[in-house]
Amino acid sequence: MEIKIFSVDGEEKNNIAMDDSVFGREVSEGSIYYAINNELANRRVGTASTKTRGEVRGSNAKPWRQKGTGNARSGDKKSPVWVGGGTIFGPKPRDYSYKMPRKMKRLAMKSILSLKVKNDSVRVVEDFTVESGKTRDLRKILEKHADGERTVLVLKDDDKMLRRAGRNIPWLHMLTYNRLSAHTLFYGRKVIVMESAVKKLNEFYGKNQGAEK
């Protein structure tokens, strides 16, 4: 398939070829679901911790004798049924991260890109940079291609000055072609792909790289 290339000023230029196996394939909703869940799980810190009755500070002595007081039986003040006692089956520090099959992750990225193209949410823009590193200069460019909605900018390389200019724009997220995020890409309302990044995506996710059929 082919898609229009826009200049920095928002004017239409020539067309660019996009690999159908990357941008025009059948969408796999299942792989997208698992890829997003995987990323969210890997982000979890897993530091929540509670104390059991063996870890709570307090005396091990019985608060009163077993019989004759009229009160319910009680072993010690660290019992979970007492205020200030231990917690039953509470969270402990753990690692929530896990690895996802490489083929499924690649399938998810291609499915998201194809879905965005299908929904007319992808816009290819000629390569540009912000040499000044100033946010206002980048905003002037983005105003021609995005309306302040959640936008994902896909780059060919990691441009330090461009990232500096965009770090103060809350609705802008920058990704390089070889380090895409399923969560960020899927929930982006607008996906702006640089011209050189399209060619790299064709090569990186294309059939010649052992992509899924």
CATH class entry, domain 2-44+100-209: alpha beta
Integer Cα distance of 141 and 192 in angstroms: 12
User: Taking residues 115-124, what's their average pLDDT?
Assistant: 95
pLDDT at position 1 is 85
Q: Is the pLDDT of residue 40 over 80?
A: yes
Average pLDDT, the chain: 92
Cβ 16 vs Cβ 195: under 8 Å? yes
**Per-domain residue ranges for the chain?**
2-44+100-209, 46-95
pLDDT at position 212 is 47
Q: Is the pLDDT of residue 213 over 90?
A: no
Question: Which of the four pLDDT bands, split at 50, 70 and 90, describes residue 142?
Answer: very high
Q: Among 75-79, 126-130, 204-208, which stretch is predicted with the lowest mean pLDDT?
A: 204-208
